[in-house]
Structure formats: structure tokens, C-alpha cells
Amino acid sequence: MPPDIRLYIVRHGKTEYNVKDIIQGQLDIPLNSLGRSQAEESSEKFRNIIIDELWSSDLSRAKETAKIISQYHVGLPLQVDARLKERGMGSWQGKPNEEVGMSSEPDDVESYQATTHRTIAWLHDLLSAHISATESVRSVVVVTHEDCITSLAQCIRSGSSDIDQSLLFDVKEGIGMEDGCPNLGVSKIEFSYDDLKWKGTVFAWSEVGPV
């Protein structure tokens, strides 16, 4: 029987574009000093949490956040996957939100469906890699971006994934599954494998720290 997978999903720390309300998309904007401080604070919350695997998108704001929050887990390698990067915002990237206002997204913006597809594909590969593992529990931290987290929330609210029929989802009573996530917000999903399917139960969503 594969191990249960405890997945912590973390949004990266704050950047200057976040502060100025500028659309980042896939621009490689680094953390600012506040973002690094947020990650330092989060590292204390993860200090006594077992982390077996650490993942991040390939954008520097996510990679740096992951390295900071895992600083007490010496020797833990960071694994990077481009499928975890922010939704591509095309010609809107670098523009203030107030400038685009309520305009329709241009054709060169990545759809939420496409973002969901790549996020779920990464999750499928992560879970599949542990089918033959022998541990009873495997704890994974992934640092990603707001729209990846939102796309996953939308998928979870439907109860299953049309993209991957081997994934089912359930949400503990009282857990809100709103779109969006604050910087360094943490969500926790626990996956168990049965009858050729992975069932993920959401225990926390966009919280301040590990729950």
C-alpha cells in the first residue's frame, strides 16, 4: 500500500510588484525585504514539521521562499518544476491592475483551464512517484503561486478532477475554499490511496501556517 501523502501548499512571499499591485504573471520578480521576512517567519512554523520533499516553481520568488522556509531542514534538496509557475498573463504582465481594470483578458493570457491542467499534471506525477514507496506517511511542501492555488481550489470544489480521474477530493467541514491566497498562506491536503484512486482531504486552506 502506498504511503499517505501530506501536502503543504505555500504561496511565495511578497514582492515589490505585489506591493505596487502590478501584474507579475511569469515575470521573474524577486522577493522584497518584507517577502523575505515573511518567509523567515514561516520557517519558524515549519521548523518542527517533518518535510520529506521540497518543491517549487522555477520562478525566483518561489525558489527563494522555499529555501528560506526550509532552512532548519538541513540537506533537504529543492526540486523545481516549471508546471508550478504562475499563470502566464501575456501582454498584461508588468501593467498595474488599475490600468487593466475590468477589461477582458487578452488572447495571449493563459487560461485558468491550462493552469489547472499543468498543476494537476504535476500533482499526478508527485503521487504516482510514491505508489511503490514503503513509508506510512510522506510529507511534501510545495511553494507556488496564487493562480495555481486558485485553479486547484476550483478543481477541489468540484469534488473530482475531470483532468485526472484517479484523483478525488473532499473538504473537511468548516474549511473555506475561496479563490486567492495571501503571501505565505498555507494549505494542507492529505492524500490516501485506495481502489486505484488517490483521495485528497483538505484540512486547511490559505491559513497562516501549517495546520
Q: For residue 3, which of 167, 141, 192 has the smallest C-alpha distance?
A: 192
What is residue 134's predicted lDDT score, i.e. its pLDDT? 79
What is residue 164's predicted lDDT score, i.e. its pLDDT? 78
Q: List per-block mean pLDDT (blocks of 10 residues) for the chain, which spans 211 residues.
A: 93 98 98 97 96 98 98 98 98 97 95 94 95 87 97 85 81 92 97 92 89 60
Give me the number of domains the chain comprises. 1
Contacts 24+ apart (CB under 8 A), 88-94: 88/25, 88/26, 89/23, 89/24, 89/25, 89/26, 90/25, 92/23, 92/25, 93/23, 93/24, 93/25, 93/26, 93/27, 94/22, 94/23, 94/27
What is residue 135's predicted lDDT score, i.e. its pLDDT? 79
Rounded to two decimals, the pTM is 0.95
Expressed as residue numbers, the domain containing 184 is 4-207
SS3 letters across the chain: CCCEEEEEEEECCCEHHHHHCECCCCCCCCECHHHHHHHHHHHHHHCCCCCCEEEECCCHHHHHHHHHHCCCCCCCCEEECHHHCCCCCHHHCCCEHHHHCCCCCCCCCCCHHHHHHHHHHHHHHHHHCCCCCCCCEEEEEEEECHHHHHHHHHHHHCCECCCCCCEEEEECCCCCCCCCCCCCCEEEEEEEEECCEEEEEEEEEEECCCC
What is residue 160's predicted lDDT score, i.e. its pLDDT? 61
Check which CATH number belongs to the domain holding 155 and give it.
Answer: 3.40.50.1240
